[in-house]
Amino acid sequence: NLKKQTYIYMYKTDTESPCKKRTFSSRHWESPPVVIIFKDMESFTTKVLQDFIIMSSHCICEFPLVLIFGIATSPMVIHKLLPHSVSSLLCIELFQSLSSKEHLTKVIDKLLLTSQFPFKISEKVLQVLTNIFLYHDFSVHNFVKGFQLSLLEHFYSHPLSVLCCEVQESEKRVQLLSHNQFENIRRLPSFRRFVESQEVEKQAALLTDDKCLKETAQALLKDLYRYHEHYFPILRCLHAFTSSLPKYPLGKQIRELHCACLERSVWEREEYESAMQLVRMLAKDELVAILEKCVGILICSSAECLRKALEKLERYVHLLNNLEEANGDQEKSISSLEELQKKTDLYHLQKTLLEMKESRRVKKLTTFEMLRFEIVDFIDGLVRNYLAPAEMQTLHEVMYFSAANTLREHLNATPRAALHTALNNPYFYLKVGNKKSISGAAPDICIAYKLHLECGRLINLVDWLEAFSTVVTAAGNTDSTVKNQTDDIIHARFIRAVSELEFLGFIKPTKQKTDHVARLTWGSC
């Protein structure tokens, strides 16, 4: 994801001059090109790469080719790997691929920050996926796989995930719900809060009458879809105001702002108050540019309730563009300074200074400042109306996957615990042997590992070998005629098991005693 990419075109060549290349602007392909991607150009054998390009150039008359070479070092490596006779067959163009973070922003924007797809993930689940991306692999592919795993877990484990679909389809599916599924709806925490807020007669009907619950569930699902249609445009508008502020109080990326809004009411945060204070100090040009972004965002929205907000923002842009700030305060200050520069006595000088001080203390707001305060208050009202946390919405459990611990167990690798489980209890994976005692049927490395757990910091290899031999031969009596051969085989198996434990990092040789090894791990896992 972090590599620079080299874009290489192969065009159909002229018959008179086979080495002549067509320019980028002169190509006219009748059909789409065949694209071949080489993820790491440096890892290919030079001879194989040259032969492939030469053979492809012979087929260029039949179909156009586009070769994409991933280069981790410098584009000059092309000329080192390919001679002039081969590179002359190519039309080379370079482009810089986007960074992994930019790709992640696009993925989140297309999958999560839209009302087009009903499935959503909670703040904790999003934090798990982004933390794995930022602190482990920087792989957008793995992020998408984690999102797909969340989708599978939600539809597999949640009995009401059948309602996570388009609004028209959800109305049909509510009609087909069974009594047990209606009982599952009644058990949802968000629905319980909704029932508690209703009148007594309505509460009884919702808890006992499936027909009443069916109609209410349809209305609540519509409200949930309507919430998403309002939430995401206003979220983008708020991000447009806060993404360019100093020190980014609400985060630079929109995913950070989204997490803050999902966690709790964003207007209750101290960072939000500091952000609004900074917005109240924006210059006119900056404010106009941000408002134009917000207008573009709300124009693309299909929510009818946001039409009035769009009209008001357009009016604010019009007022700011036609606004001519009065320079009365500046003229007054200039005239006062000119008066001070004139010759005057001490009494008049003191009086003038006092008047200037009083005028600064009771300074009147200009037209632009009053309009700027009005705009900020309007945006604050939109935030409080439409950016409520998803957990406050009734039936949000139908669409939101929130089992972050389950996802973390699947995605966050714990190699030490897995190794200990495999070596200390091979029955967990192999389903053979005894769960607790040391069995001769277990793999040799498991026997050696269990025996080494009973030792201290230094392990005597001779004693370890005798204990290993006792466990291995405990299953049956060894014939005296092949005893020497059996001892050699057990000795070889022990050496291999000890070498494997050393490779895994459980033991190491020590110079303190030649016939001892040092244990490197302590505890049960």
Measured between alpha carbons, how far is 39 from 62 in angstroms, rounded to an integer? 25
* Runs of H (alpha helix) within 59-160: 77-81, 84-87, 100-111, 123-132, 140-157
Confidence of residue 435 (pLDDT cuts 50, 70, 90): low
| Average pLDDT for 94-102 | 84
Confidence of residue 357 (pLDDT cuts 50, 70, 90): low
Confidence of residue 419 (pLDDT cuts 50, 70, 90): confident
Q: Are 276 and 376 in contact (CB under 8 A)?
A: yes
Residue 280 has pLDDT above 60, yes or no: yes
Across 454-479, b (16+ Cβ under 10 Å) vs e yields ebeeebebeebbebbbebbeeeeeee
Measured between alpha carbons, how far is 143 from 136 in angstroms, rounded to an integer? 11
C-alpha distances (whole Å) from 351 to each of 127, 358, 395 are 62, 11, 69
Task: Say what the pLDDT of residue 482 is.
Answer: 47
Kindly report the number of other CB atoms within 10 A of residue 401's CB atom: 26
Helix (H, G, I), strand (E, B) or coil at 36: strand
| Average pLDDT for 83-93 | 87
Residue 498 has pLDDT above 90, yes or no: yes
Across 272-281, b (16+ Cβ under 10 Å) vs e yields beebbebbee
Task: Say what the pLDDT of residue 147 is.
Answer: 96
Measured between alpha carbons, how far is 23 from 217 in angstroms, rounded to an integer? 62
Residue 477 has pLDDT above 60, yes or no: no
**pLDDT per residue over 99-152, tens digit each?**
889 999 999 999 999 999 999 999 999 999 999 999 888 899 999 999 999 999
Confidence of residue 360 (pLDDT cuts 50, 70, 90): low
Across 480-508, b (16+ Cβ under 10 Å) vs e yields eeeeeebeeebeebbeebbebbeeeebbe
Task: Say what the pLDDT of residue 285 is.
Answer: 92
The owner of tokens 């705009």 is 375
Kindly report the number of other CB atoms within 10 A of residue 179's CB atom: 7
Cα dihedral 252, 254, 260, 263 sign? negative
**pLDDT per residue over 40-56, tens digit each?**
888 888 899 899 999 88
Rg (CA), the chain: 36
More confident residue, 42 or 275: 275
Pairing relation of β-strands 65-71 and 458-460? unpaired
Q: How far is CA 372 from the centre of its chain?
A: 35
Task: Say what the pLDDT of residue 202 is.
Answer: 93
C-alpha distances (whole Å) from 185 to each of 160, 196, 503 are 8, 14, 54
Burial of 96 (0-12, 13-18, 19+ CB in 10 A): exposed
Q: How far is CA 166 from the centre of its chain?
A: 25
Burial of 345 (0-12, 13-18, 19+ CB in 10 A): exposed
Task: Say what the pLDDT of residue 24 is.
Answer: 42
| Average pLDDT for 444-470 | 90
- What is the H or E stretch that residue 420 is in? helix 415-424
Confidence of residue 25 (pLDDT cuts 50, 70, 90): very low
* Runs of H (alpha helix) within 300-414: 307-321, 328-341, 346-361, 367-386, 404-411
Of 110-114, 246-250, 426-430, 487-491, which range is least confident?
426-430
Task: Say what the pLDDT of residue 354 is.
Answer: 74
Q: Strand order of the sheet with strand 91-95? A: 34-38, 65-71, 4-10, 91-95
Residue 164 has pLDDT above 50, yes or no: yes
| Average pLDDT for 188-198 | 94
Q: How far is CA 113 from the centre of its chain?
A: 12
Confidence of residue 23 (pLDDT cuts 50, 70, 90): very low
248: left (phi over 0), alpha (psi -120 to 50) or beta: left
Task: Say what the pLDDT of residue 356 is.
Answer: 64
Measured between alpha carbons, how far is 157 from 307 in angstroms, rounded to an integer? 39
Confidence of residue 525 (pLDDT cuts 50, 70, 90): very low
Percent of the chain whose pLDDT exceeds 70: 83
Tokens describing residue 268: 């209750």
Of 14-28, 81-95, 419-433, which range is least confident?
14-28
Residue 517 has pLDDT above 70, yes or no: yes
Q: Return the axis-axis angle of helices 270-279 and 210-242, rounded to nearest 10°.
A: 50
| Distance, first Cα to last Cα, the chain | 35
Confidence of residue 392 (pLDDT cuts 50, 70, 90): very high
| Average pLDDT for 87-105 | 85
Confidence of residue 340 (pLDDT cuts 50, 70, 90): very low
Burial of 221 (0-12, 13-18, 19+ CB in 10 A): buried
Confidence of residue 275 (pLDDT cuts 50, 70, 90): very high
* Residues forming a β-bridge with 94: 6
Residue 22 has pLDDT above 60, yes or no: no
| Average pLDDT for 378-404 | 95
Question: What mean pLDDT, rounded, does the chain reach?
Answer: 84
Residue type at position 359: S
Measured between alpha carbons, how far is 266 from 248 in angstroms, rounded to an integer? 15
Residue 334 has pLDDT above 60, yes or no: no
* Runs of H (alpha helix) within 165-264: 167-175, 179-187, 189-196, 200-208, 210-242, 254-263
| Average pLDDT for 343-360 | 64
- Candidates 88, 81, 57, 78; CA nearest to 7 is 78
Helix (H, G, I), strand (E, B) or coil at 159: coil
Task: Give the helix, strand, coil percentages of the chain, each rounded to 5.
Answer: 60, 5, 30
